[in-house]
Chains A and B, each alone.
Chain A
């Protein structure tokens, strides 16, 4: 992979120039909450923020969008009205999340809606400072080698810039004079120093090794019922999780009209209707069953199939769940067979 060097003060100039390709979006802070917003320049972004409330999946697969317009003659697909966006400041965990979404949506039966947005989005990663909720060390998603177009690692005086795609390279070619290929010993030492420092910052230490076996052994464990007593089935964990992809589809119709839209919106397996079938039979009527499905998917099934968890360690469930049910508390409860307060 091509790695370039950039002076820190040149970032603003580069991003201004990059806007020629598309809208610039980045993490911004409003009333203490961080979210991705459309910005005019670097100065509006908060690059020190650890995590946004909603992961960047919302750009690739929005909370609600129209798949088809329909009338009595049939369904017409609605594609092509997506703007080109540059997402700046995406952290390694979220890029790992995007890679999991890519696997799901772009392989076997490619989803044209996801594919269009993915193609029209440039992902520029940025190194981050772990806080007390980050678990990417345990999920091995603390560094990233693919899935981005450019990745900026902040080494105090300069940036090291990984060029991950031809599209990313094109972006650099807008202002090639800002980048240099001459990397020397001090750059390497600065980078290894940065890694050592980052690795020492983690406060959460969870062990996800052996989770498939622990889930299997604990399938009927009362731990699930105890967790279910606390769970509100609110589904917020699904909304904020970078790897939750489930969706529902509805046909919306204008009253008194024969035309309407087929819309797709985020769903959660925490909702009672999730596994309900015609005739009222529900495969996961109990809250404990639904809770177990969510965590089985992330920490057992995905590991069994792909050798790594479908948790990227972003810590959003830790931040969001109102009753403290999250990857840390659930994996600990299963391991210790006890539910913490």
Chain B
């Protein structure tokens, strides 16, 4: 059986793929009560331009003395020289990252994973659907498309969060609504502020407000919590977007990022090198990609 995507062989691989390079946190500020935004630059400035990544790829971040974990990249490669991350405080490494101060250093290695198929997506309409933390990896491709706007067709950005306070990059995305070259729709499950000017309801509710789409010419990019996939996928499939043009980026436990430690294995694939971007066909075909049962009902 053919591997889904291996871009690794063409890339320059360093001698020790586990060696983290030291980067400096140059900006850090809270996005929500438990999630921070980080901007980092390499200490060795020559390394800045060597970190060639594409949207959808991830990096392994180390905190000296705490450990290492995988994080998706939230910045766009069209603005090179730095990396941005969006990290929620939920564990050991993320806890240490939450305590870190600007000007402190972190270890970074990567980029890893297949990323989005940027070349195939050129000229196509793009529909991005983010739920909660799913905005973290999808912001990379969103900004990339906006920076290379002429290369893509119509752009739609749908984003759902629990409450206005939980919405990542809230101000940044609200400003996108001013632009005329994309459709940006934001929604919250519940507005507890009384000041929310956008939609209220789950993200799937936004689909009924969509203009008709040219389904065969559209790529749908989805990322969110497991429960979201179940409902969003039904909608996206109903729109008639081809299975291989529905892409999602997945999360798994990883200790290496380079297909060695085994933790992210799904049947014969490794999420770290064959993913983390998978198509809806992969999900139907592989069963355990987005959890048991999510695709069971689909026969044809």
A31–B226 CA distance with the chains assembled, in angstroms: 52
CB-CB contacts below 8 Å: A247-300 with B:
247-251, 253, 258, 260, 262, 267, 269, 274-281, 283, 289, 293, 296-297, 300
Chain B contacts for A219, CB-based, 8 A: 287
Indicate if the CB atoms of B260 and A278 lie closer than 8 Å: no
A104 neighbours in B (Cβ, 8 Å): 259-260
Assess the B16–A250 pair: CB atoms within 8 A: no
Interface assignment of A71: CB less than 8 Å from any CB of chain B: yes
Asked if A293 and B265 sit within 8 Å, CB to CB, the answer is yes
Query: Chain A residues with Cβ under 8 A from B91's Cβ?
Result: 278-279
Could you tell me if A111 and B17 are in contact, using CB atoms closer than 8 angstroms? yes
A253 engages B65 (CB within 8 Å): yes
Q: Chain B residues near A72 (CB, 8 Å)?
A: 64, 105
Partner of A77, one of B16, B253, B261, B263: B16
Main secondary structure of the interface of A (DSSP, over half): mixed
Cβ–Cβ contact A275 & B260, under 8 A: no
Our pick among A248, A262, A278, A281 for the contact of B69 (Cβ within 8 Å) is: A278
Find B19's partner among A75, A250, A281 (CB 8 Å cutoff).
A75
Whether B13 contacts A109 by the Cβ 8 Å rule is: yes
Does the CB pair A247–B64 fall under 8 Å? no
Q: For A75, list chain B residues within 8 Å (CB).
A: 19-20, 62, 64, 107
Q: Given B94, B251, B255, which contacts A247 in the complex, CB threshold below 8 Å? A: B255
Q: B86-98: contact bitstring with A at CB < 8 Å (1 yes, 0 no)?
A: 0010110010000
Is there an interface contact between B253 and A305, defined as CB atoms closer than 8 Å?
no
* Residues of B contacting A79 in the complex (Cβ-Cβ under 8 angstroms): 16
Distance in angstroms from B85 CB to nearest chain A CB is: 13
Q: Which residues of A contact B259 (CB under 8 A)?
A: 104, 108-109
**B267 at the binding interface (Cβ < 8 Å):** yes
Interface 9-residue window, one of B1-9, B51-59, B116-124:
B1-9
In this complex, how many residues of chain B approach chain A with their Cβ under 8 Å: the count is 47
* Complex interface: chain B residues within 8 A of A105 (CB): 260
Task: Please report which residues of chain B, range 117-173, place their CB below 8 angstroms from some CB of chain A when the two chains form the complex.
Answer: none
Could you tell me if A278 and B13 are in contact, using CB atoms closer than 8 angstroms?
A: no
Q: Does B22 contact A (CB under 8 A)?
A: yes
Instruction: Verify A258–B261 contact, CB threshold 8 A.
Output: no
B290 CB to closest chain A CB (Å) equals 10
Nearest A residue to B19, CB-CB: A77
A111: B residues at CB distance < 8 A: 17-18, 260
| Cα of A253 to Cα of B91 in the assembled complex, Å | 18
Most chain B CB inside 10 Å of its own CB: which residue of A67, A274, A277, A289: A277
Q: Is A179 an interface residue (CB 8 A)?
A: no
| Chain A residues near B62 (CB-CB < 8 A) | 75, 251
Residues in chain B near residue A297, CB distance under 8 A: 265, 267
Cβ–Cβ contact A67 & B252, under 8 A: no
Instruction: Specify which chain B residues have a CB less than 8 angstroms from the CB of A194 in the assembled complex.
Output: none
B256 touches A274 (CB 8 A): no
Asked if A245 lies at the interface with its beta carbon under 8 angstroms from chain B, I say: yes
A267's partner among B105, B226, B262 (CB-CB below 8 A) is B262
Enumerate chain A interface residues (CB-CB to B < 8 A).
Answer: 67-68, 70-75, 77, 79, 104-105, 108-112, 219, 245-251, 253, 258, 260, 262, 267, 269, 274-281, 283, 289, 293, 296-297, 300-302, 304-305
Question: Can you list 7 A-B pairs with a CB-CB distance of less than 8 A?
Answer: A75-B64, A109-B258, A109-B259, A251-B62, A260-B65, A262-B68, A304-B268
Closest 10 CB pairs of A and B: A246-B262, A301-B268, A109-B258, A278-B90, A305-B268, A278-B91, A279-B90, A301-B267, A109-B17, A253-B65
